[in-house]
Structure 1
C-alpha cells in the first residue's frame, strides 16, 4: 500500500481558500492519496511551532494563507531552517495587487467572511428554498420573502432556486384541484405572492416531454388537455382569491420570469432590490 502523504493547511482564519487550492492541485495528480490536516485560526508563534514540529516529523508540506506579517515571516524562516516545504498561497497575488494597484492591504485575517455577508444570506436562502419547495413545509409561507403558486411544471422550483441565488427566501406551493391550498396562503400579504400561469398547449407539451423522460405513457392524465384546462382554471380561481399578481411563464426563460417578479415586487415596495 502506498503511504498517504499529508499536507498541513495552515491559516490565521478558517483556511477554506488554502484547502480548495490543495484539492485543486491534488486533482492534477490523478487524485493522489493526500490527507489534508487543518490548523485554523493560528494566533501566535507557539501555534506555528506545533505545526512545524508535526510537519517535520511526517515529512509533510505546509500550505498556508497567513496575512499577519510577523507570523508569515516566522513560518517562512522556521520552515527553511527545518527543511520543510511551506507554500504561501496568498502573498504572491497580494504583492501583484500592491504593485499594480498601488494600494496597501489590510493584512487582517477573516476579512473575506466579514465582508461576504452576501454569501451567508445566499446559503440561507438556498436552504430555505430546498426546505420549502413544492409545499413540503407550510410554515415557510409566513417566513418567505416571495411565495410562488401555480400548477405543476410552471417553473416554480427552478424559479425558487434562481431567486434564492439572489438572496431571496422563496417558498412555492403547487395548486391541485383535489387538494385545498393551505389557509396560510391567504393570510400573508398578497403583494409578496406571485401566481404563475401558462398556456394549455405549452403545458401539455412540457408535461408530455416530462413523461417521456420518465419512460411513461404520454397519454397519462397528467398530460391530458382536459385535465390541464381543469387545473389551470382552478389555479386562476385561487390566485384571484388571493389577489396576487399573475405572470404568464409561457415561452419565458427562468431568468426572464425572475426579473419580472423582482421588478414587480420592487415597484410594489415589497423588496429592495438593485
Structure 2
C-alpha cells in the first residue's frame, strides 16, 4: 500500500486547507491509513516557502496551499515546478474567479475568516453572559463582567445589557431595592466599570404605571407610587456614593445613546491605562 504525505501550507492557521485535504483523502483511505498530513501555518516569508518546498522534496510530499497573496502563490508554483513537486493551489483559483466577477482586487489579508468567526463567537458569548447574569440573579457574574449596571426597577438595565452584549461587552446588571442589601461582589469590582442608571421620578412613575396596566394589575400599587419611587432613588444614590461609580441619567435617552455613552467612557479609560 502506497503512503501519501501532504504538506498543508497557509498564511493563516491552515484549517481550510487541511479540511479539503482530509475530505479528498477519505475517498481513498477512509481511516487515513498511510496518510500523513502536516500543517505549516502562518507562512509569512519567501524563505519559509523555499524551506517547505525543500523539505517536501526530501520527503516526497505533495503540497496543498492556501495563500491569499498572489505573489506568494506564484512563488510556490514556480518552486514546485522547478523541483518537480506536485502541488495544488486550493484558494487562488477561487479568489481569481471572484476578482473577475466582481471586477475588484482582493485584500490579500490572511486570516480574515477567522477574525470574523472570532468576532461572532465573542458576541454570542457576551449575549449568553448578559442573559445569565441579568437582574442580579447570580452575583458571581459581577466579578467576571466588563460592565456592571445598577439601578432601580425600569431604568432599562436589561435592554441596555443586551445592546452592549451585541457590541461584545460582558454585562451584569443589579437591581437596587431598599429592602435588599446589594451583593458583596458589587463592592469588589473596579468602580470605573460600574454605571448607575437613574431616571426622573416623574418619568419612572409613568413607566411603572404603564407596566402595571400591561400586566393587568392596578396602577395604584405601591410599586408605582411616587413616595416609593423617591425612596428607591434616594437609596440608589446612597449605594452609588458607597461604590464611587458614575451615574448616567437615562430619562430622555434611547438605549443606543446610553450604550454609546458607556462605550465612550470605557474607551477613554482603556486609553488612559
1:104 deviates by: 8.5
Distance, in Å, in 2 between the alignment partners of 1:267 and 1:98 is 43
The match for 1:236 is 237
1:271 deviates by: 9.2
1:45 equivalenced with 2:19 (yes/no): no
The match for 1:200 is 201
The match for 1:103 is 106
With 128-137 and 209-218 compared, the bigger mean Cα shift is at 209-218
Q: How does 1:220-231 map to 2 (within 5 A)?
A: 220-231=221-232
The match for 1:165 is 166
Deviations along 1:17-58, one digit per CA (max 9) or x if unpaired, are xxxxxxxxxxxxxxxxxxxxxxxx5523354689xxxxxxxx
Q: How does 1:99-248 map to 2 (within 5 A)?
A: 99=101, 100-103=103-106, 112-113=113-114, 115-248=116-249
* Contact 1:147/1:193, CA 8 A, preserved across alignment: yes
* Contact 1:150/1:156, CA 8 A, preserved across alignment: yes
The match for 1:71 is none
With 93-102 and 235-244 compared, the bigger mean Cα shift is at 93-102
In 2 relative to 1, CA 271–235 (structure 1 residues): closer, same or farther, beyond 3 Å?
A: farther
Gaps spanning 5+ residues in structure 1: where?
A: 1-12, 15-40, 51-66, 69-90
* Contact 1:265/1:271, CA 8 A, preserved across alignment: no
**Higher Cα Rg, which structure:** 2
1:187 deviates by: 1.3
Deviations along 1:106-150, one digit per CA (max 9) or x if unpaired, are 9x9x96245431111111111111111000111111111110000
Task: List 4+ stretches of structure 1 deviating above 6 A.
Answer: 91-94
In 2 relative to 1, CA 233–116 (structure 1 residues): closer, same or farther, beyond 3 Å?
A: same
* Contact 2:143/2:185, CA 8 A, preserved across alignment: yes
Paired residue secondary structure (2:163): helix
Distance, in Å, in 2 between the alignment partners of 1:209 and 1:97 is 56
With 115-124 and 263-272 compared, the bigger mean Cα shift is at 263-272
Paired residue secondary structure (1:269): helix
CA-based RMSD = 3.1
In 2 relative to 1, CA 49–238 (structure 1 residues): closer, same or farther, beyond 3 Å?
A: same
* Contact 2:95/2:106, CA 8 A, preserved across alignment: no
Paired residue secondary structure (1:148): strand
* Contact 1:148/1:172, CA 8 A, preserved across alignment: yes
Q: So what's the TM-score if we normalise by structure 2?
A: 0.63
Q: So what's the TM-score if we normalise by structure 1?
A: 0.63
Distance, in Å, in 2 between the alignment partners of 1:104 and 1:144 is 35
Distance, in Å, in 2 between the alignment partners of 1:155 and 1:94 is 49
1:154 deviates by: 0.3
Distance, in Å, in 2 between the alignment partners of 1:230 and 1:185 is 21
1:103 deviates by: 3.4
